[in-house]
Every structure is written in C-alpha cells, then in structure tokens.
A and B are shown apart, each in its own frame.
Chain A
Amino acid sequence: MNRLVHLLAGAAVAAALCFPALAENTSIPLTLKDHKFSPAEIHLKANAPSEILLSNQDSTAEEFDSSSLHVEKVVPGGEKGVVRLRPLAPGRYPFMGEYHSSTAQGVVIAE
C-alpha cells in the first residue's frame, strides 16, 4: 500500500507541474430551454481555443454530447456548465443533448 501512496503522491506532483494556468479563451453563451439549444448554430474562429458557456434552463439534467468535438458534459437542470474546446480545424461539428436528442441539436462551425 505504501508504494501505492508514493505513486499517487508522485502523480499529484507531476500533475501540478504539468498543468499551465488557464488561458484566456473566446467565450460563447449557449442556452438550453425546452430541450432546444439557442443559438443552434455557433460560429467560432478556427484554430483557436474557445469555450461554450452552456446555461441549462430546463429543470432536468442534460448531457452536451458531441463525438466530433470529443465532449461529453453533463449540466444539471438550472445550472451552467463550461464546455472547453480545443483549437478546431475549419469545419462543421454537430452536437446534441443526449437525453433529448430528438429536439436538442446544434452545430459548431469553425471558420
């Protein structure tokens, strides 16, 4: 068990050294209401980090899910969540609310 504790401590120190401070990103507001995203189309600059500030105004939780953006983020009902995006190559990146995918659909367009 001792070895394990050392391993964990080592990992924590390594992690602290590796993680740089958060960079300033472009921030885009996105609202979810009645299981629909607005705006359903988000335009952002390609090849630059950015973040989506998702405000879930429904009473139930939703999972912001996009396989092309590699994001799965649960935002509880009535809460806000930050979805951080890596610098994106120009293109269209669809996303959805996994729990209500029939209505909760949107797309990020990097250009």
Chain B
Amino acid sequence: MLASLLIVFREVIEAGLIVGIVLAATKGVAGRGWWVSVGVAAGVLGAGFVAGFAGEIAGLFQGSGQEIFDATILLFAVLMLTWHNVWMAGHGRAMAREMKAVGAQVQAGERPLTALAVVVGIAVLREGSEVVLFLYGIASQGGTSATAMVAGGALGVAAGAAVTALMYFGLLAIPAHRLFSVTAGLITLLAAGMAAQAVLFLQQGGYLEFLTRTVWDTSWLLKQDSIPGRLLHTLVGYSDSPNGAQLVAYAATILAIVILMRFEQTRHPRVRVAAPAA
C-alpha cells in the first residue's frame, strides 16, 4: 500500500504543483474555479483515454508515438503559458490596479483563462495516464493486496492534491501587488522546463540528434528522481544531467517569453496613478 502510494504520489506531484501555480496566478479572477475544474476534468478523461489507447499511440511514428505525443502536448503547454504571460504583461498592471482600487473581484473579461485551463488539462493528462495504467495493472491482478494497493494509490492522489493546496496557500502568502510578478516568473520557468522536457522526448523518439552530450552532472548533489528533485524538476526544470539541446531549449524559452512580455509592455505603456484613497 505504501509502495503504490509513493509511486502515485511521485506521478501526481507535477500536476499538483502546476494546478497550485495556476490557481494562485488567477487569484481574484471571476470564473477561474470553473475553468480550472474543466481543465482537471478534461485531463482526467484524457488520461483514461491515453491509457486505454497506450498501445495504439505507442505504435505510431515507428514506435515513437508516445514520445511525439508527449513532446507535442508539452510544447502546446509552453505556447499556452507564454500566451498567458504575454497577455498579463499587457493587461496585468491595469488589473492589479483595479483589484487594489475596488478591493474586490475583477471581471475575467477577455483574459485567457482558457490557456491556463489547457495547461492544467495537459498536466493532469500526462501524469494521470501513467497512474491509470499503474492502478489498472494492479486492479486486474485482483486479491486483497490489490485492494490495499489501489487504496494506497487513492491516498497518493490525495497527497498530490495536498501539494496543490500547499503551493497555492504558499503563493497567497505573497503580498497581492507582487503576486503577479512572482507567478509570471514561476510560469516562465515552468514553460522553460517543459520545453527542455519536450526536447528530451524528441531525442528519445530518435529526433533532434544534435547537442545530445550531457553538459554537467549534479546527480551527486540532488537526484532528479528523488521527491525534492521532482519538485525542482517541475518548478524550474531541474535536470541532474542536462544535455546541450535541453539547455538551448530552456534558455531560448525564457528569452522568448521575456522579449515578448517586454514588447507587450511597451504596447500598453504603464500608466502611473496615485495610490487609491483608502
């Protein structure tokens, strides 16, 4: 039971952290609860679907179907995170001001909540499909130990939800006027880490066969598959032995997001206003 709890928990940590960050990034936005729920629900459905068709997906692209699939949805999540950050760079300041001014809920308006819902869905789908395969395998073996292990798995999912809550309430401890810049930074690193992960999947699939040498190895310091390693892997894209192409993807993603955000900020110049009267 403990074993399956740990395996499932390791898988759901990533999704848990991402949902927590998304919830914090959308604090005070009307309708976010609904969008995040839709994202989670779609992710769970998708996970069942991907697990059910794992064999068919794997068989595509000369046996590289799973890698291509993972890389594609990761890159799509990177695009969505970029879109969100760039949009916020243009509109976030005004929103923060409004929030402070009225001290109440801000209308979602045209805010791309859909983008973050897609990111939540993808995170849940990726981790969820492995959980489904694992638990299905145990359940199909039957017996009392199987029941205990499935129960352990359910506890693992609950522990993942606890990670979401910790991340969310931890971020909420940050003063409201700085929350936007902190979540923007977190989302940038999240996107960069996903881009590097996508590169790794493409390499596993037999594509992108350049700069594949490991550049450094810090596994003596922190192993990537330990729980802290996994947390850092999700949050900032930590890899204990990254290769050249991964580092290029990581740096290029950060650079692209920062440049696009700057560009949006100059299009929507900052308007200085006096602090609202109390």
Partners in one complex: yes
A73 contacts which chain B residues (CB < 8 A)? 66-67, 204
CB of B130 within 8 A of CB of A63, answer: yes
B204 contacts which chain A residues (CB < 8 A)? 70-71, 73, 83-84
What are the interface flags for B141-184 relative to A under an 8 Å C-beta threshold, 1 for contact and 0 otherwise? 10000000000000000000000000000000000000000000
Chain A: interface residue total (CB-CB under 8 A):
37
Q: Does B49 contact A (CB under 8 A)?
A: no
The CA of A76 and the CA of B208, in the complex, are separated in Å by: 26
Residue of B nearest to A99 (CB): B134
Specify the main secondary structure of chain B where it touches its partner.
Answer: helix
CB of A60 within 8 A of CB of B223, answer: no
CB of A70 within 8 A of CB of B7, answer: no
B239 contacts which chain A residues (CB < 8 A)? 70
Within 8 A of B (CB), among A58-92: 59-63, 65, 67-68, 70-71, 73-77, 79-84, 86-87, 89
Q: Does B105 contact A (CB under 8 A)?
A: no
B213 contacts which chain A residues (CB < 8 A)? 87
Contact of B133 (CB < 8 Å), options: A4, A22, A74, A102: A74
Q: Does B63 contact A (CB under 8 A)?
A: yes
The CA of A67 and the CA of B10, in the complex, are separated in Å by: 14
CB of A59 within 8 A of CB of B140, answer: yes
Residue of A nearest to B201 (CB): A72
Q: Does A9 contact B (CB under 8 A)?
A: no
What are the interface flags for A31-65 relative to B under an 8 Å C-beta threshold, 1 for contact and 0 otherwise? 00000000000000000010000000001111101
Which candidate, B25-33, B36-44, B54-62, B268-276, is the interface stretch facing chain A?
B54-62
CB of B58 within 8 A of CB of A74, answer: yes
Q: Does B219 contact A (CB under 8 A)?
A: yes
B64 contacts which chain A residues (CB < 8 A)? 82, 84
CB of B137 within 8 A of CB of A77, answer: yes
A75 contacts which chain B residues (CB < 8 A)? 58
Residue of A nearest to B59 (CB): A79
Shortest CB distance A51–B (Å): 8
The CA of A60 and the CA of B225, in the complex, are separated in Å by: 23
The CA of A21 and the CA of B240, in the complex, are separated in Å by: 29
The CA of A74 and the CA of B133, in the complex, are separated in Å by: 9
Most chain A C-beta atoms within 10 Å of own C-beta, residue among B51, B63, B212, B240: B63
CB of A76 within 8 A of CB of B133, answer: yes
> 17 A–B contact pairs at CB < 8 A?
A4-B79, A11-B75, A20-B209, A22-B62, A23-B206, A23-B209, A61-B134, A65-B225, A71-B204, A76-B55, A83-B204, A84-B64, A84-B205, A86-B203, A86-B243, A98-B7, A99-B7
Nearest 7 pairs between A and B by C-beta?
A: A60-B137, A82-B63, A67-B225, A61-B133, A19-B207, A76-B55, A86-B212
19 other A-B residue contacts (CB within 8 Å) besides A59-B140, A76-B54: A19-B202, A22-B62, A23-B206, A49-B209, A61-B51, A61-B54, A62-B137, A63-B130, A68-B219, A73-B66, A74-B54, A75-B58, A77-B137, A81-B58, A81-B63, A82-B64, A84-B204, A98-B7, A98-B134
Q: Interface residues, chain A, CB within 8 Å of chain B?
A: 4, 7-8, 11, 18-20, 22-23, 49, 59-63, 65, 67-68, 70-71, 73-77, 79-84, 86-87, 89, 98-99, 102
